[in-house]
Amino acid sequence: MELFTYYLRYLTAVCEGTLTVEGFSAEGADETEKAMDLQQKIAKIGIPEFVRRCAAAEGTEIPQQIYDAFDPQALVQAARSSVGGGVPDAPQAAPADQASQPDAPASPKQNAYEAFLDCLALEDALIEYLIDVLLREDELAFFRLSQVTVRRELRLHDFLYWLGTKELYADESERACATILDACIERLRGEGRMELIAALISGDRRTFELFRVDAPELRQLPEATYEWFEEYYLNRYYPYRAILRLRGVQFPKFDFDRAAGN
């Protein structure tokens, strides 16, 4: 278990009051305020020291090499690369006039979701933790996970809606690619060809090129090259959606009123 996984477990335990650590009581009127209060206290000493103190309070001995291997800058860099230059120190509301700024991203929250997935992808254990949280529909755990990765107030249902319907808001090329590949994966799932699915969504070029020759969904599409697959599927976070679906996570249906802004 990597240090960041210990961190998530101890953060939850302290917030819920199942672990008492001197100097780290979570104070607030509700669970959200408690999580934010604890985050501010942890920020003063850093994740490794917080984990060290929690482990001591719990009576757990964590090997030093796990502390030594922890790289907090990797998480920050992944977030910065997706949100365009900065991760706020605390959740911040978008400026009221942001929509009128020509350089403002069309969907700031979407960028936060991408940063969130980039951070989780750094550790397999974090993806497993996300799957567990989504299957349990644990809103509080999801909120805390977003706080400790991209320091944003992300909501579980909104995240699932974004990931589950993102091609419907995309351009025609991305929408076509996502729809076709989803159909391929669903067919392969029905055929029990899970190893082939794993190779495809991992981005293995040779696997895709061999698959497209025989796949009825792809063989008549001249545009269905590996570059097309890479640009419109692999790089647009659809493999995460495939993984979550395969693990049993349910996604919300498309909301026409929401899309129309009603």
Highest mean pLDDT, choosing among 8-12, 118-122, 141-145, 189-193: 189-193
What pLDDT is recorded for position 69? 87
Q: Is the pLDDT of residue 207 over 60?
A: yes
- Higher pLDDT pick, 91 / 206: 206
Asked if residue 48 lies in contact with residue 75, where contact means CB atoms within 8 angstroms, the answer is no
Ranking 98-107, 152-161, 178-187 by mean pLDDT, the lowest is: 98-107
Q: What is the pTM of this model?
A: 0.68
Q: What is the mean pLDDT of residues 81-89?
A: 41
Say which residue, 206 or 103, is predicted with more confidence: 206
Per-residue pLDDT, 7: 85
pLDDT band at 257 (very low <50, low <70, confident <90, very high): low
From the list 87, 61, 90, the residue with the least C-alpha distance to 76 is 87
pLDDT of 125 > 90? The answer is: no
The closest alpha carbon to 38, from 7, 68, 69, belongs to: 7
- Residue 93: which pLDDT band, with cuts at 50, 70 and 90? very low
pLDDT in tens, 130-175: 999 999 999 988 988 888 777 778 999 999 999 999 999 899 999 9
- How confident is the model at residue 99, as a pLDDT? 33
The 3-state DSSP class for residue 103 equals coil
210-249 confidence digits (pLDDT tens): 999 999 999 999 999 999 999 999 999 999 999 999 999 9
Q: Is a pLDDT exceeding 70 seen at residue 103? A: no
Closest alpha carbon to 243 in 212, 202, 215: 202
Q: At residue 200, does pLDDT exceed 80?
A: yes
> Distance between CA atoms of 51 and 62, rounded to whole angstroms?
9
Please provide the size of the chain in residues.
262
- The least confident of 60-74, 77-91, 194-208 is 77-91
pLDDT at 36 over 80: no
The Cα–Cα gap between 144 and 108 comes to 20
- The stretches of 121-204 forming alpha helices (DSSP H) are 124-136, 139-149, 156-165, 172-190, 194-201
DSSP 220-253: T-TT--HHHHHHHTGGGTHHHHHHHHHTT---PP
